[in-house]
A and B are shown apart, each in its own frame.
Chain A
Amino acid sequence: MSHLSATLLGSFMALVIAVSLGLLLGRVTLEWLAGRGVTTLLVESRGGLLGVIVVPLLVAASDWPHWVVIGCFVGVGRSVALARWSSTGASEWSPAIRGGLALGRSGSLLLLRAARRRGAVVASLAAIPLEVALLEGCLVLVQDAPVTGLGALLASGRAEVWAVASLVLLVGAHEWSARRVLRGPGGRG
């Protein structure tokens, strides 16, 4: 597997997990349980499971390719961030949201979700490739076995312009995808 495809697959997997699990967690926090207790618990758990330690252990313990492990780990971590941000109310709501709520539109709940901190959610999702690259680089430094990925290239000092450019494009693509996915009825894409 090439370096680019390893990072690409890992990032994509992380994005899918983060969006699906994050939206689910956010919805659980918003609609089923009062308060931020669930996400507080998740953020604290996430603090103890350091990628530097957990990813090399998981790669050594499982037969899965490293990009799957990294993708899952980053995806779950980012889903916590997504849930946290989406359960944090924005300081103010846009006129469109307020208008929609005042009119009692049927999509009020969706509007409420749009009222949450979507910009931060997008940023959290956009930064996925960076964390993936960081963990790939970490694996290179920890393991003796060869590791593929753009981060692995950077860590081994063999990075070329195309590798950095690919990473930039990946972050851009993630931000674009996140904006598309999280486009709400009351806000912009």
Chain B
Amino acid sequence: MADALRRILLGLPLLLLGAVLLFSLLGSSPVTAQTLTRPLFYNPAPESAESASLEALELVQSDLSLGTKRLTELGGAALPYVLSRLGQLPIDARRRVALALDGVAVRLDPTFLARPPADADARLVYWDRYQDDHQLDFRPLVVARIVHRLGTQARGLRAADLRVVDTYALPALVAEIGRIRSRDDVERASRLTPHIARLTGHPFAIEGDASVREARQVATEIRSLWDSIGPRYTPLDPVARLAAHVTQTEFSTWLARTARELARIDSPNLVERLVGHGRLTVGFLVSALLGALVVGPVLAGALELLRFRRLRFAEVWLPRAGLGLTLTIAMPTLVLGGASNPAAGSTISALVGALGAAFVLHREVMDRMDWRSHVVLGRRRPLERILALGTWLLPSLPTLVPLLFAELVTSVLVLEIASNARGIGSVTLTALKQGDVPWIMAVCLVFAALTSVTQVLADAFVPGREQRGR
């Protein structure tokens, strides 16, 4: 038990290592690389509200229309950095920035364009006053408090407070959604979602009578969007900036999403897909394992018992060549030919498992049959012979099964793809073509974990002497 626990605990870092390896492979493949926008494991230039604002500020000087667009997208999140640097710019550059901030002003005050300041200098005065009036509002704690109150009480006043800081409140708004498990959580999320939708320009909405599941799905979509756009709205302190070199990477984003999904913070979309498509795959896999564990040893034993019939030709060549021939013809032709229905798929899987196991066991038994046969031949009754042979065959199974498991998984997935069956294999095929990284990672890690479990279970049957080595 202690050994199994130790093995399971050791399996976790192994899974992480496997995930890193697989992720680097996915990053180097052209199809999947298209869907990955950030560096895989280390981001030399992490994004923050400050870096995005300063970048937009530079853009304003080189291309006013593009810079205006960028600043408008950033909204209130850019103001603390842009306004604090205005004074350091030459007067012409300052005027360009003041003009470029029109879009932000409209976000803060929709009536801005109804009576806009007369010229660039008047706009500078407007922003100067704005900074004086709202300097204290642009503080994370203040915003977090406003957002928390907005989430707990539906008050129009809070919404007006929020409009003053605009997108500066987005990190707090997304964080405040939190975990959705009850009606109270749904109501909280439904009060916050319209503000997030307005600030991001995405049509997120949670109706008042939405179920927990529906609300959680919307929250998942918001967090998924936040994973990609969040950094440019988030102020980073020095420690967070240091951590962002690692956290703002594709691998960390995937890890965070997976953790959220496993912790049931996000909707378990991937898990549901895996379970939904996994039924067929598990059915095929169980058939293959049953074939390997039950039919395989019986077949190997039966073929070996044939040799005691003292038929010269059959003694050596018939069992050896016959089994090899059957496996060689049956395995690739049946698997790659596909199956017309699930029952046929299960039969093919069982056959492949049985033949695969029998092939290995038979070769193993044959290798020492010349000197070991007297033990079996010494038994007169057929049942005793079978038992004698069984005690000889079965110790190989704990080593065989985990090794065969990976091969059976491959053949089952290929069988599904060839059969066009809606199992994990077919979805994986689509994922490979579309670069669906989360699905590919999930499939690999699930099967790695299953192999580990199979290995632990199989090793429970290995004698202690053997486990220690030598």
Q: A residues near B, CB below 8 A?
A: 29-30, 33-36, 40-41, 43-54, 56-58, 60-61, 77, 80-81, 84-85, 87-92, 94-96, 117-120, 122-124, 126-127, 129-131, 133-135, 137-138, 141-142, 150-151, 154-155, 157, 159, 164, 167-168, 171-172, 175, 187-188
In the complex, A77→B407 CA distance in Å? 9
A88 neighbours in B (Cβ, 8 Å)? 396, 399, 466
Is B283 in contact with chain A by the CB < 8 A criterion? no
B371 neighbours in A (Cβ, 8 Å)? 94-96
**Considering residues B332, B361, B371, B406, which has the most beta carbons from chain A within 10 angstroms of its beta carbon?**
B332
Contact A48 B331 (CB under 8 A): no
The one of A33, A43, A57, A164 in contact with B455, judged by C-beta atoms closer than 8 angstroms, is A43
Is B438 in contact with chain A by the CB < 8 A criterion? no
B459 neighbours in A (Cβ, 8 Å)? 40
Contact A141 B327 (CB under 8 A): no
Nearest-CB distance from B121 to chain A (Å)? 57
Nearest-CB distance from A146 to chain B (Å)? 16
Q: B residues near A, CB below 8 A?
A: 7, 11, 14-15, 17-18, 21-22, 25-26, 28-32, 321, 324-325, 327-329, 331-333, 335-337, 356, 359-368, 370-372, 392, 395-396, 399-400, 402-403, 405-407, 409-411, 413-414, 417-418, 425, 428-429, 432-433, 440, 443-445, 447-448, 450-452, 454-455, 459, 466-470
Assuming the contacts A44-B11, A57-B432, asked whether A151 and B327 have C-beta atoms less than 8 A apart, the reply is: no
B363 neighbours in A (Cβ, 8 Å)? 119-120, 122-123, 126, 175
The one of A53, A56, A150 in contact with B443, judged by C-beta atoms closer than 8 angstroms, is A53
A122 neighbours in B (Cβ, 8 Å)? 363, 367
In the complex, A102→B126 CA distance in Å? 99
In the complex, A30→B413 CA distance in Å? 34
User: Can you spell out 26 A-B residue pairs with CB atoms less than 8 angstroms apart?
Assistant: A34-B468, A43-B402, A47-B448, A47-B452, A48-B22, A48-B444, A49-B22, A50-B410, A50-B413, A51-B410, A57-B26, A91-B395, A92-B372, A95-B371, A96-B371, A120-B399, A123-B362, A124-B360, A127-B359, A134-B411, A135-B410, A141-B429, A142-B433, A157-B337, A164-B329, A188-B370
Contact A91 B392 (CB under 8 A): yes
The one of B25, B335, B402, B451 in contact with A58, judged by C-beta atoms closer than 8 angstroms, is B25
The one of B21, B333, B361, B400 in contact with A164, judged by C-beta atoms closer than 8 angstroms, is B333
In the complex, A76→B313 CA distance in Å? 37
Contact B399 A46 (CB under 8 A): no
B466 neighbours in A (Cβ, 8 Å)? 36, 88-89
In the complex, A43→B7 CA distance in Å? 13
Contact B336 A188 (CB under 8 A): no
Contact A84 B399 (CB under 8 A): yes
Nearest-CB distance from A60 to chain B (Å)? 5
Assuming the contacts A43-B403, A123-B364, A127-B327, asked whether A50 and B25 have C-beta atoms less than 8 A apart, the reply is: no
The one of A54, A126, A137 in contact with B418, judged by C-beta atoms closer than 8 angstroms, is A137
Known: A34-B468, A44-B14, A49-B22. 8 other contacts (CB 8 A): A43-B455, A45-B14, A47-B448, A49-B444, A94-B371, A124-B360, A133-B336, A134-B411
In the complex, A144→B90 CA distance in Å? 58
Contact B327 A35 (CB under 8 A): no
In the complex, A150→B329 CA distance in Å? 12
The one of A57, A61, A134, A167 in contact with B414, judged by C-beta atoms closer than 8 angstroms, is A134
Contact B332 A130 (CB under 8 A): yes
Nearest-CB distance from A162 to chain B (Å)? 13
B411 neighbours in A (Cβ, 8 Å)? 134
Contact A155 B418 (CB under 8 A): yes
Contact B410 A134 (CB under 8 A): yes
Contact A94 B417 (CB under 8 A): no
The one of A47, A50, A134, A142 in contact with B336, judged by C-beta atoms closer than 8 angstroms, is A134
CB-CB nearest in chain A for B420: A141
Contact B428 A53 (CB under 8 A): yes
Assuming the contacts A43-B455, A175-B324, asked whether A141 and B417 have C-beta atoms less than 8 A apart, the reply is: yes
Assuming the contacts A46-B406, A57-B29, A123-B363, asked whether A171 and B324 have C-beta atoms less than 8 A apart, the reply is: yes
